[in-house]
Homo-oligomer: A and B are copies of this chain.
Amino acid sequence: MRYPGFSRRSFAGGAAAALTAPAALAAPGLLASRQAADTTAEQAADTAAAEVRRITLYAEELPGGLLGYGLAPGEASVPGPLLEMYEGDTLVIDLVNTLDVEVSLHVHGVDYTIDNDGTRMTDSIVEPGGTRTYTWNTHAPGRRGDGTWRAGSAGYWHYHDHVVGTDHGTGGLRQGLYGPLVVRRRGDVLPDKQFTIVFNDMTINNRAADDAPHFTATAGERVEVIMITHGEFYHTFHMHGHRWADNRTGILTGENDPSRVIDNKITGPADSFGFQVIAGENVGPGHWMYHCHVQSHSDMGMAGIFTVTDRNGNVPGGPMPHGGTGQAGAASGGSHH
């Protein structure tokens, strides 16, 4: 199953066309020489140099009262495009505001000077029809002069509007002005596929309950999930049949890593985390639910399906279950990368 722009590779390729600047959007190691290597983890090249890349983001209206960010005119999506950096990289973003209200771009986790804050208070927002440049920097970990350890920028972060509706962007977030940002450390394991799941108020990725995002992978593929929460409510994110480490990468660093392994995690607005699973590892193919485990939330439709097929594309129980997640309609629809 392949949605437009769904796989990492097609995403990266599509994005490249929209770049306004010399370097590719995706981190160097991601684009170079990725062959089908289902269960073989590839390491990012340690020798890759830090890069400065420039992209344009367009804030646009979408059908159904949604707003979105996109890498080219007419390509806005909810969530916005997955942005990826390596520690040390700089990303320069020209935000074009095609809306009739002010919009902005506020980012979590990375480095930026105060004029890139994306808030009204700091006069770093964009008037209707205007363009503003935001610069995000990142850094590798290392030791400070005083001997303490300075954390690197690596993490599962996100960006969002901070001005539509209220000065905290409550309207912008509600309508879809948010997206994922992954910052990797040199050497981090790269995924074969990536899915972004945003619990935004009582929706997943602003989808209606009967149209929850449906993700598909082949057993053995290394799948990265980027999980973000927005809005008003707390949630608990649960996946059937798969679990992850509650640490930086979602992968234990080895036998001495004391992190808890979990398959359910409480999360609140603007929290984000990510992890990688080997699709179907130890459990095989199937239509695996993922959902909010707050009972009323899942009952009202905060549930989707992560389908793991065998190597021939088959799934026990057939191609798609009916009424599977507890809602009237079957899960359907795809993600944006």
- Using a CB-CB cutoff of 8 Å, which residues 261-319 of chain A contact chain B? 261-273, 278, 281-289, 291, 293-296, 298-299, 303, 316-317
Q: In the complex, which residues of chain B have a beta carbon less than 8 angstroms from the beta carbon of A248?
A: 258-261
6 contacts between A and B (CB under 8 A): A112-B241, A117-B241, A122-B317, A151-B252, A265-B271, A268-B294
Secondary structure type dominating chain A contacts: loop
Chain A residues within 8 Å of B, Cβ to Cβ = 39-41, 106, 108-109, 111-115, 117, 119-123, 137, 139, 141, 144-155, 166-170, 173-174, 189, 230-232, 234-236, 238, 240-241, 243-249, 251-273, 278, 281-289, 291, 293-296, 298-299, 303, 316-317, 321, 323-326
Q: In the complex, which residues of chain B have a beta carbon less than 8 angstroms from the beta carbon of A170?
A: 295-296, 298-299
Whole-angstrom distance between the Cβ of A254 and the nearest chain B Cβ: 5
Rank and list the top 8 A-B pairs by shortest CB-CB distance, nearest first.
A114-B286, A167-B326, A121-B324, A41-B146, A266-B268, A270-B293, A111-B282, A247-B258
Selected contact of A325 from candidates B121, B137, B230, CB within 8 Å: B121
CA of A241 to CA of B260, assembled, Å: 24
Q: In the complex, which residues of chain B have a beta carbon less than 8 angstroms from the beta carbon of A282?
A: 111, 137, 139
Extra contacts, 10 of them, besides A111-B283, A121-B289, A268-B293 (Cβ < 8 A), are A40-B145, A41-B148, A108-B263, A109-B263, A111-B241, A119-B289, A123-B317, A166-B295, A252-B258, A253-B258
Q: Are A257 and B321 in contact (CB under 8 A)?
A: no
CA of A326 to CA of B120, assembled, Å: 8
Q: Are B289 and A243 in contact (CB under 8 A)?
A: no
Q: Which residue of B lies closest to A139 (CB)?
A: B282
Q: In the complex, which residues of chain B have a beta carbon less than 8 angstroms from the beta carbon of A241?
A: 111-112, 114, 117
Q: In the complex, which residues of chain B have a beta carbon less than 8 angstroms from the beta carbon of A269?
A: 236, 293-295
Q: Are A238 and B291 in contact (CB under 8 A)?
A: no
Whole-angstrom distance between the Cβ of A263 and the nearest chain B Cβ: 5
Selected contact of A321 from candidates B122, B169, B247, B288, CB within 8 Å: B122
> If the complex has contacts A141-B255, A288-B114, are A40 and B262 also in contact, measured as CB distance less than 8 A?
no
Q: In the complex, which residues of chain B have a beta carbon less than 8 angstroms from the beta carbon of A296?
A: 170, 232
Q: Which residue of B lies closest to A248 (CB)?
A: B260
Q: Are A236 and B288 in contact (CB under 8 A)?
A: no
Q: Which residue of B lies closest to A189 (CB)?
A: B148
Q: Are B149 and A270 in contact (CB under 8 A)?
A: no
CA of A298 to CA of B121, assembled, Å: 14
Selected contact of A113 from candidates B231, B252, B283, CB within 8 Å: B283
Q: Are A253 and B252 in contact (CB under 8 A)?
A: no
Q: Are B232 and A283 in contact (CB under 8 A)?
A: no
CA of A236 to CA of B228, assembled, Å: 13
Q: Which residue of B lies closest to A299 (CB)?
A: B166
CA of A36 to CA of B286, assembled, Å: 47
CA of A119 to CA of B189, assembled, Å: 33
CA of A317 to CA of B149, assembled, Å: 31
Q: Are A149 and B294 in contact (CB under 8 A)?
A: no
> If the complex has contacts A257-B258, A295-B168, are A321 and B121 also in contact, measured as CB distance less than 8 A?
yes
